[in-house]
Structure 1
């Protein structure tokens, strides 16, 4: 299948086209992602997000360069989003730690920042991408309207994503932790939710 035939087949939703795209470009895109983010799982997630995004937006797919150049650009953009998400996650942890300090005496520090980071990673990992991005953008103090515009979603959908993300985080974190950490995180999550 030629490149232009592949793009046309993708636009028309031919399942075989997605398979072709995957087999032709996955290794190359993974190498590019891994060279920028030396973490195998993160690099795989980046490539997966790019390919899924192309399939989900296939009807409006516009490739003005070669397909390879287009995909390289998409991986670069997704890598930047990954680093932005990591930065926001650190901001979330900083805010949660600050909330904990309001309710816990600093010298009693029952759990380390590392444990909090692991817990947040685990809780965020299983979320659909739009839900995770809605939550992380809300943690940056973005309004529901701003998030909806940025992600191309309805405001109600963003609001639902944030509520569900907070519910899932509370549920997962409650299973793994108790006491002061849970109290600090609950305070933080209630701030995010409003």
Structure 2
């Protein structure tokens, strides 16, 4: 004989839950909370995170109760949901670790000196000056090549020019840009 506390079967509880029955939800919670928590602790080895995971599962269960479509037993569904949530947790942790590692590396390599900032501004000013010295068609060819990273073929198709004209335009633009930027900047060297 079933106790009054657990008088409904899982299937009955699910059907009641789908109708929004809070008592059915409370009984599912009481029946499975500690079992799922132990399962999550075993996988995570961290009780606080395990509690968060199990709480998320029960929150999802209540929020999605009208549209739940469970094709297995309730216990299988809940255990599987916990496992997937933990796997998501592992993935997020790896992504966060990778992001933090990259961020720390970038911070270590970041240009922080005032002299470097001034040099960058001076270089940008020289670049703008050099670009302003180019005739409009040559400037467009140069920008497509060096800023937008188009190939010679793509530039020739875009601007309806021959490949040789594109090469000549870029070569001439590079000479003009080198003069304005001065030597030492290999970015525009071919």
Q: TM-score, normalised by structure 2?
A: 0.52
Q: Which has the higher contact order (CA 8 A, sep 6+)?
A: 1
Deviates more, 1:20-29 or 1:93-102: 93-102
Q: How does 1:37-186 map to 2 (within 5 A)?
A: 37-103=44-110
- Once residues 104 and 45 of structure 1 are traced to their aligned partners in structure 2, the CA distance between those partners, rounded to angstroms, is 40
Q: Which residue of 1 aligns with 2:183?
A: none
Q: Which residue of 2 aligns with 1:19?
A: 26
Q: Which residue of 2 aligns with 1:140?
A: none
Q: 1:97 to 1:31 in 2, by over 3 A?
A: same
CA-CA distance at 1:68 after TM superposition = 0.7
Aligned residue pair count: 105
Larger Rg: 2
CA-CA distance at 1:102 after TM superposition = 2.8
- Once residues 49 and 88 of structure 1 are traced to their aligned partners in structure 2, the CA distance between those partners, rounded to angstroms, is 20
Q: Which residue of 2 aligns with 1:36?
A: 43
Structure 2, unpaired ranges of 5+:
1-7, 113-190
CA-CA distance at 1:74 after TM superposition = 0.7
SS of residue paired to 1:96:
helix
- Once residues 111 and 45 of structure 2 are traced to their aligned partners in structure 1, the CA distance between those partners, rounded to angstroms, is 36
Q: Deviations over 1:64-111 (max 9, x none)?
A: 121111111111111101101111110221122023113378xxxxxx
Greater share of residues in helix? 1
Q: TM-score, normalised by structure 1?
A: 0.51
- Where do 4+ consecutive residues of structure 1 move more than 2 Å? 102-105
Q: Which residue of 2 aligns with 1:9?
A: 16
CA-CA distance at 1:55 after TM superposition = 1.1
